[in-house]
Amino acid sequence: MTRRLTASGIVAGYRPDLPILHGVSVHVDAGEVMTIIGPNGAGKSTLIKAIAGLVTVSAGTVEIDGEDRTGTPAHLLAGAGVAYVPQTGNVFTTLTIRENLIVGGAALAKAEALARIDEIFTQYPMLAAKRAEKARVLSGGERQILAIARALLTSPRIILLDEPTAGLSPMAAAELFDLVRGLVADGAAVLMVEQNAKAALKMSDRAYVLAEGENRIDGVASDLLENDEIGRIFLGARPEDVA
């Protein structure tokens, strides 16, 4: 098993005097979809941003393929094989689908970018069919596919997805999860944050439950589906409130 990403003891936040994460540790292996779930405000997006180099890490380490990359700025992480798809605002609605992909390939040599875009169009026929249309015509699910496809241009080995199914219909979410499963088939690793805990656990290999900026539970996703403790953490409810 190749370890792609190890985040150890991450302390991070938006102000030095107010850490949001209090020493969170997660890892992701090659070929694995790993999901982070937890209540609103648990620090899931903050963790993904700390890994992606968008939030200052004040303690702890981020290792990518065995190398210490703690604090590497986001724009340099693409070169280390990391792609990040944020929670919102993923596509440029006034640009065409093809132009959106070109933006994603900005770090590549032009010929390479165009070749990768052709590959992406072969892989995702929906994007190819709408290549000349503005991204604003896409449905929510199609926008997510475009956002992920754009992140794939640099052939990342680690793909960070923050709530890829937010706002999608159950059917569109299921399609997106199929796409995500496909991403790891060739040895990439996916770290995904999801709001829809049950659906996410069903399609993930392993998962972590985060609450109040701390690790709570982790394990094989199918085991966590059976874990009653998770419902309580999620609802912020006291055990006696849960019948």
Ligand X SMILES: Nc1ncnc2c1ncn2[C@@H]1O[C@H](COP(=O)(O)OP(=O)(O)OP(=O)(O)O)[C@@H](O)[C@H]1O
In the window 41-60, what residues touch ligand X (CB under 6 A)?
A: 41-46
Q: Any idea what DSSP says for residue 240?
A: G
Per-position x/- string for 181-210, each x denoting binding to ligand X as judged by CB under 6 A, each - no binding = --------------x---------------
Amino acid identity of residue 163, one-letter, is E
In the window 82-111, what residues touch ligand X (CB under 6 A)?
A: none
Residue 38, binding choice from Mg ion, ligand X, none, Cβ under 5 to 8 Å by partner class: ligand X
- Cβ atoms 172, 139 nearer than 8 A: yes
Query: Does 45 sit near Mg ion (CB under 5 A)?
Result: yes
Give the C-alpha separation, 116 to 131, whole Å: 14
Query: Does 46 sit near Mg ion (CB under 5 A)?
Result: no
Query: Does 38 sit near ligand X (CB under 6 A)?
Result: yes
Helix, strand, coil distribution of the chain in percent, nearest 5? 40, 30, 35
State the residue for tokens 């620090």.
43
Query: Does 40 sit near ligand X (CB under 6 A)?
Result: yes
Q: For residue 38, what are the contacts with CB-CB under 8 A and spacing of at least 6?
A: 44, 209, 210, 211, 216, 233, 234
Using CB under 6 A, pick the residue from 20, 50, 117, 180 that binds ligand X. Answer: 20
Which residues contribute to the site for Mg ion (CB under 5 A)?
44-45
Which residues contribute to the site for ligand X (CB under 6 A)?
14, 20, 38, 40-46, 195
